[in-house]
Amino acid sequence: MRFSEWLDLVPADRAVAVLMRHAERNPIESVRDSLEARLTAKGIKDSELLGRELSGFPRIELHHSPVERCRQTARAIATGCTDAGGNASVFGSDTILGGPYMLDWRRAMALVMERGAGWFVKKWFTGELEPGLVTDAHEAARQQLENLADVYHVRL
């Protein structure tokens, strides 16, 4: 199902949280580049188009990680939304959205570069990564959920 089809199923009178990373970015060729890679022109355009899709909702609140490409994505979504007559606000960065579950960031990024992001995520989600590298996936998800509940004043 495409995202736009999913949006048609979302009741406009309910609060909904969408967790995403970022739009298309420039290539990451080294571990050092992993935090520096910015969005491509297509990534910015796609984010603005997503903002237009979201403009029918009463209010869009955007929070992002401290990573620049995530900030770019949030701002472009807000621009697309407001350009289409919607109400969007960028609330800024939140460190919990930036990967606090990475316990050994350098080693984790080295594995991502060596074996690929797909391999890394699969091993993380199945609990097959070496201890001390990342927080357990279930615990990381629980932390993210608690953070969202705090931001939106929702009781779990």
The answer to whether 61 touches 18, Cβ cutoff 8 Å, is: no
The answer to whether 52 touches 83, Cβ cutoff 8 Å, is: yes
Q: Which residue has the tokens 């990475």?
A: 102
Strands 88-93, 60-64: pairing is: parallel
Query: Residues 35-46: pLDDT tens digits?
Result: 788 999 999 999
pLDDT per residue as tens, the chain (156 positions)? 777 788 888 887 777 777 788 999 988 877 667 778 899 999 999 999 999 999 988 889 998 988 899 999 999 999 999 999 999 999 888 877 777 888 998 898 889 889 988 899 899 999 999 999 999 999 988 888 888 788 777 776
Distance between CA atoms of residues 32 and 116, nearest Å? 16
Which domains can be identified in the chain, with CATH numbers? 1-98 (3.40.50.1240), 99-156 (no CATH)
List b or e across 114-149, with b for residues whose CB sees 16 or more CB atoms inside 10 angstroms.
Answer: eeeeeebeebbeeeebeeebbbeeeebeeebeebbe
User: Would you state the pLDDT for residue 43?
Assistant: 97
Sign of the CA dihedral with 77 first, then 83, 86, and 92 last: positive
What's the pTM value of the predicted model, to 2 decimals?
A: 0.75
User: Would you state the pLDDT for residue 113?
Assistant: 84
